[in-house]
Amino acid sequence: MDASYAPVTVAAAGAGRVAVPSATVRVAVIDIGTNSTRLLVADASGSELREVARANRVTRLGAGVDASGALGADAIARTVAVARDYVRDARALGAARTVAVATQAVREARNREAFVRALAEATGLALRVLSGEEEARLTFLGATTGLTPAVNRGSAQAAKPPSAEPTVGSQSVAVVDVGGGSTEIVTGLPGRSPTFAVSLPLGVVRHSERYLAHDPPRASELEALAADARTRLAEALAAPAATSTRPVASPDGGAARAVPAVGAAVAVAGTATSLAAIDQRLDPYDPARVHGYTMSLARARELTRWLAELPLAERRKVPGLHPDRAATIVAGGVLLTETLSALGVERFTVSEHDLLHGIAHAIAPESGATTVEFAETASAPRGAGL
């Protein structure tokens, strides 16, 4: 089983409260996504971040939102329950500050305010609903902080030390985050402000519900899903309205594109990490072997085609794939590979660092990382007895 799905995994040795180094603050970040709800507890100071604990539970808050436009009562209840558990865990680990954010499912739900109130009543937290651009920029911050010069690595190459960071070249890097309800694409140089950021309504839950009606999915369904992704990606990567940067001419002299050319790609979130784990047949899941793993686009397509041929019951048994992700991994693989193809990259690096880490960096003392503000407590918090 994927260790990130177990009750909070403490990275440091020992149990209970873990000592906080001097000149740092222990922060906790709760990310409420369309498909999963996640927790990161870390010691943060400026640009330095040391992971203390994390957890990941599939809560499917966004199930049915694409068709109904509203968050379901059962989905709200199970997500709030997990968030309440995470607040308790963060307090037990000595977090001095806890923030909660939500992304696509809550962004577009017509009953989002009801969910915000329910979370505040249960946890006392003021939920920050990120815009698509905020989500993209914070993901870029999390994924690129600490990147080092390129060293090719993959299934046929020697494993790096567990403490090593993912590697990219000195050229502009694209960070791709395929989530449950949206896909974020951000480009730029690590350590600098992004030059391009866009959030698209391409998500593993949304597109599984919209296109994949049969088990296993039919070829026509997969092609319809891929065609939708290609159309939206082509529009987004060519439209100057999608970013604050101006369109630039493509290297081959073709039509101008808003997104600058990139020399490397980093993929984050459950689809990318699952494909890396499947490729290595990791059972149990090992974040140290996933973080920094390099895969070719061709191999990702091959794995996606193979997974699409399996009935759901068989996909649940695939080594490296958590059973809760089996229902959405096919759509995720299609969306990830179509996005990478649209960016013109042939290989990508998988990172365990994403939005959670970007927010942790952003709220660290003297980080200066972002202008996004995060309130910690709701204006009228309840649940103080948690």
What is the per-residue pLDDT for 194?
86
Residue 165: CB atoms within 10 A of its CB come to 16
Quote the percentage of the chain above a pLDDT of 90. 58
CA distance 237 to 129: 25
Residue found by looking up tokens 């809550």 in the block:
106
Q: Which H or E run includes 54?
A: strand 48-58
How far is the C-alpha of 269 from the C-alpha of 288, rounded, in Å?
15
Give the residue extent of every domain in the chain. 3-131+357-362, 146-352
351/169 Cα distance (integer angstroms): 15
> What does the pLDDT read at residue 150?
41
The token pair that represents 280 in the structure block: 């290595």
Which pLDDT value is given to residue 232?
94
**Residue 122 CB: number of other CB atoms within 10 A?**
18
Q: Say what the pLDDT of residue 330 is.
A: 98
- What's the pLDDT tens digit per position in 50-99? 999 999 999 999 988 888 999 999 999 999 999 999 999 999 999 999 99
Q: How many CB atoms lie within 10 A of CB 152?
A: 10
* Residue-wise pLDDT tens digits, 28-45: 999 999 989 999 999 988
0.95 surpassed by pTM:
no
What is the rounded average pLDDT of the residues 90-110?
A: 94
What CATH topology corresponds to 146-352? Nucleotidyltransferase; domain 5 (3.30.420)
Res 28: pLDDT = 97
Other C-beta atoms closer than 10 Å to the C-beta of 255 total: 9
Q: How confident is the model at residue 148 (pLDDT cuts 50, 70, 90)?
A: low
H-type alpha helices, 159-265 = 204-211, 219-238
Exposure pattern of 306-321 as b/e (b: 16+ CB <10 Å)?
A: ebbebeeeebeebebb
pLDDT digits (tens, 9 = 90+) for 298-331: 999 999 999 999 999 999 999 999 999 999 999 9
Intrachain domains 3-131+357-362 and 146-352 with the same fold: yes
* Cross-strand partners of 57: 37
HSE-up of residue 253 (Cα within 13 Å, Cβ side): 0
The confidence score (pLDDT) of residue 267 equals 96
Amino acid sitting at position 288: A
CB 39 within 8 A of CB 26: no
**Average model confidence (pLDDT) across the chain:** 82
* pLDDT above 50: residue 16: no
- Of 220, 185, 189, 215, nearest to 335 by C-alpha is 185
On whether the 3-131+357-362 domain is CATH 3.30.420.40, my answer is yes
CA-CA distance, 144 to 138, in Å (whole number)?
10
Longest CA span, the chain: 63
Residue 372 pLDDT: 56
| Exposure on the CB side of residue 191, measured as CA atoms within 13 A | 8
| Tally: H helices and E strands in the chain | 13, 12
